[in-house]
Amino acid sequence: MAGLSDLCYCRVIGKDGAVPVIGWAVEAADDEIVLATTSDLSSLEHTSKAKVGQQTVSFVRVGQNTASLETPAGWGGLKPKDLAPLDVCQRAWKKVKDSELLSSEAEATKGSLRGGGFGRGGGERQRGRLGLPSAQGSEQISAPRGFRGHSSEKKKSKGEGDLVKQMLVKNLADGKDANEMLPAVLMAMLLDKDKGKESRRSRGASSSDYLELHGGSDSDESDADEDKAKGMKAVELLHRLHRSIRRHPKRVCEQFEKEVIEDLGIVKGQAWTLKDYVRKQQWGKFKGLYRTAIMDVEVYELLRSNQPDVAAAQVIQNLKSKMQAVMQGGDWGSAWLLTGLPDPLMKREFAGSRQEMSIISGYLDAVHRLQKRVRESKGHAGHHGEEDEESGAAGAATKK
């Protein structure tokens, strides 16, 4: 694993293929490092630059497992003497370290010109740096003390089986009873079975023989170690995923938006929002989750439009609406009104626009009021006519 101020080699994958990069490690983490270099990185997508005096330094972020502390085999990049001094690279990194530098894909280094592999010479140094046992030590472990003569024991057991067979043949030839020879026959069969097992094993003492003699087997141990390694790797990948949320937030957003664009089939230059992506999903009976997804989309859109204060206020209103929905037993009727957002589940009641429907409703209201007044005026006219008839009849009666 590379540390700060280490000189590292790697091959970063760019638009035109792998680019050999040699540089100083100016930032080192458990999974990634940042290399400062003067190599040409124009074909790479995620890089940054800084200038110190007349010297221009470029930076690229790669994985720890892709960097080598020794010169890889077939190296075609710059040499250490072509790099800017370490202090210059460190000063340049201070200028751009606060900017978001995304990770670049790199190839795993293979071999080394200075003994980086596990061959003769440099192999032992590489094993020591990685904390692995030396080749000589592994040979000693594979042949524990006390089991060096196991191959001779095989030969001995094989000879015993042949001897029993020879005795059986001789006794039968002498005319002895077969029932008396039954125990010897069974012994010969057991010895043949043991020889079959031994023939399937490798010659000489091995660690698998040692494990079998103590109630285990080499395959069982290897399977257990493999399962343990897979489990540890899965846990590490999960922790790395959680760390990336805070370490590389922009990368998380960019990857998600890229997937959304591919899923929606958006062409270059076409406008789109996350609401289109959320509406496309099949929510089924989980209407409450659909509403909360709309809330999250609104907050995300506000943040992307550089309105963090409005986004924070929207989060508060969303939280209030969720609490209100719980108080009402899951009913979003009045709870959704706290969000200030259009209800995504409300059915459209009018075909026209709001302005058109406002004009129409005003007209209908005016017509209704006019009709009401006409009816009222007709009622008053009829009432006055009845009064005139009654008064005329009373005057005629008085004259008589």
Residue range 90-106, pLDDT digits in tens: 999 888 887 878 888 88
Q: How many CB atoms lie within 10 A of CB 378?
A: 10
In sequence order, the β-bridge partners of residue 35 are 25, 60
- pTM of this prediction? 0.39
pLDDT bracket for residue 134 (50, 70, 90): very low
Query: Which amino acid does the sequence have at 380?
Result: H
Per-residue model confidence as pLDDT tens digits over 346-371: 776 667 777 888 888 888 889 888 88
pLDDT reported for residue 197: 55
In sequence order, the β-bridge partners of residue 223 are none
Helix or strand run (H / E) with residue 14: strand 7-14
Token duo for residue 106: 């790199």
Strand order in the sheet with 7-14: 48-52, 55-63, 32-37, 17-28, 7-14, 106-107
Helix or strand run (H / E) with residue 1: none
What angle separates helix 135-142 from helix 122-130, to the nearest 10 degrees? 70
Per-residue model confidence as pLDDT tens digits over 284-332: 888 888 889 999 999 999 998 999 999 999 999 999 999 999 999 988 8
**Concatenated DSSP letters of 265-287:** TPPTT----HHHHHHHS--TT-H
